[in-house]
Amino acid sequence: MAAVKSQAGPGAMQSATGRKKDGLVRHCVQEKADAQKHRPNSVLRSFSAGFGEAWPANLEQTNTVLSLQSSNVHLPYRSPESVEMDEIMAAMVLTSLSCSPVIQSPTQRDALPHGPLDMECGGGELSDSGSSGYWSWEHGSVSPAPSPSVTETDSSMGQLGDEGLRVEPDPGARDEPENRWCKSWSRGAYRCLWPSCGKVLTSRVGMKRHIRILHLGGAEQSHREEDFYYTEVSSEEEEPTSPSLSFTSGPWSSCSSTHSQPTSREAPPSSSAFSQSAPSSVWQIHTEHLYQAPCAPIETTKSPDSPSSCDWTSAGLQLRPQISVSRSRSVSVGEQWLQRNNVPNRSHTISASPSRGHCSTRKGRGEAKKCRKVYGVERRDQWCTACRWKKACQRFPD
DNA sequence: CATGCCGGGGT
DNA sequence: ACCCCGGCATG
């Protein structure tokens, strides 16, 4: 978008504005804490839940792979390195498998009350395991082609393949449009979701290794958990949208609004848990605003670097980067999300609406940079529309 | 004084 | 609805 914008003259701005309407939907399904149970099965379950039928086409293939795995697993001896690699592979397979529509595991499958898109509940507790900040789009993007290179896995994997995995063609199960399109536009970068890490690597294996070694302490048991601690990000998204937009402090990427999707956003399922949730999931937000900011996608990132998890509340929601939110609808992104999902919201989102409610009192100047500051008067055409019209800034709401 | 934006007006 | 701007509050 940024590029488009910059190239386009003022006149084009308007069209850009129009385009904005199709904000990007980052609909992400958040996994529940349950997923955190460190068990292979739970891993599979949770993933499957999140992905819905991500790649039905791969089911057969997947099964095949599993079979192979189960039959090849027990190798008398292998060098530590090879073992590690195998485990990595295993993790990859797991990841791939997670896309299967329904991976049933005999036990407590019903225990997980996740419905399609029920982020809210997941959010309820992103607890410590911290990885829960899982958004379907992120995972959905996990290479459509389930690492072909996988040839074998450790025994546990094999078992899973044999008994734990029963893939049934259940297209309707959790078929979310978002999942589909989401997966389509991400490609290769992986970001560590570990709190205050945010490392981005281009290889999945590398990321897994990073997580396992640095964050999971290389624990044996953790081999299959890496998946929870990283997320795939689209390189596309990483592209800077606008020069000054990226004040995000972390490695967080921004998303561009070039995608035609209604906007949606990840929001903290529960205001409080929010901060802790997803160690550092990226809150990418695309909002529409009344005034249709010409430029761009608004992106929000939860500041990863904030040592203390709770940032949302401080500094106007932390929508640091740019968020354009229409005042008329509440302002906080989180709120918006909550509203959409009928989640009883409230609490932290201070940022917003007060101004409208009791209008007389103009709220003091927020510390947030406004378009004027960011772009300067000379680049007024890059301001959000609201700013241009001398209205409350939509891009950088307080 | 610069900034943010309400309220109101023009098209 | 879109756009602009006077004028006021704020820092």
Provide the CA A389 to C1' B10 distance, Å, integer: 14
Buried b (16+ CB within 10 A) or exposed e, A196-216: ebbbbbeebbebbbbbbeebb
Distance of CA A296 to the CA centre of its chain: 19
Q: What are phi and psi of A232, to 5 degrees?
A: -90, 140
What tokens were used for A195? 């709190």
Provide the CA A332 to C1' C10 distance, Å, integer: 23
B7 nearest neighbour residue (CA to C1'): A391
Among residues A64, A29, A21, A71, the alpha carbon closest in space to that of A50 is found at: A29
Provide the CA A71 to C1' C4 distance, Å, integer: 73
Provide the CA A19 to C1' B3 distance, Å, integer: 29
List CB-based contacts (under 7 A) with strand B.
Answer: A 327, 355, 359-360, 362, 365-366, 369-373, 377, 386-387, 389-393, 397-398
Provide the CA A203 to C1' C4 distance, Å, integer: 51
Among residues A176, A59, A60, the alpha carbon closest in space to that of A118 is found at: A176
Q: Which residues contact A208 (CB under 8 A, 6 or more apart)?
A: A88, A91, A92, A226, A227, A230
Task: Specify the amino acid at residue A296.
Answer: A
Provide the CA A319 to C1' B2 distance, Å, integer: 24
DSSP-derived secondary structure for A35-74: GGSS-HHHHHHHHHHHHSSS-GGGHHHHHHHHHHHHHH--
Q: Whose C1' is closest to the CA of A390: which nucleotide?
A: B5
Q: pLDDT by residue for chain A (398 residues), tens digit each?
A: 333 333 333 333 333 333 333 332 233 223 333 333 333 333 333 333 333 333 333 333 333 333 333 333 343 344 544 545 555 565 554 555 544 433 333 333 333 333 333 333 333 333 333 333 333 333 333 333 333 333 333 333 333 333 333 333 333 333 333 333 333 334 567 777 776 777 777 877 887 787 777 777 765 454 555 566 667 665 444 333 333 333 333 333 333 333 333 333 333 333 333 333 333 333 333 333 334 433 333 333 333 333 333 333 333 333 333 333 333 333 333 333 333 333 333 333 333 333 333 334 555 666 677 888 888 877 787 788 888 888 888 887 76
Q: What pairing do the DSSP bridges indicate for beta strands A200-201 and A230-234?
A: unpaired
Q: Whose C1' is closest to the CA of A362: which nucleotide?
A: C9
Residue A242: helix, strand or coil by DSSP? coil
Q: Whose C1' is closest to the CA of A359: which nucleotide?
A: B6
Q: Protein footprint on strand B: which nucleotides are under 7 Å from a CB?
A: 3-8
Rounded Cα gap, residues A269 and A335, in angstroms: 10
- Give the neighbor-by-neighbor strand order of the sheet with A230-234: A200-201, A188-192, A230-234
Among residues A227, A232, A186, the alpha carbon closest in space to that of A92 is found at: A227
CB–CB of A29/A50 below 8 Å? yes
C3 nearest neighbour residue (CA to C1'): A389
Q: Whose C1' is closest to the CA of A367: which nucleotide?
A: C11
Q: Which residues contact A258 (CB under 8 A, 6 or more apart)?
A: A1, A4, A19, A24
Q: What are phi and psi of A191, to 5 degrees?
A: -115, 135
Provide the CA A389 to C1' B11 distance, Å, integer: 15
Among residues A16, A27, A4, the alpha carbon closest in space to that of A261 is found at: A27
Rounded Cα gap, residues A317 and A320, in angstroms: 7
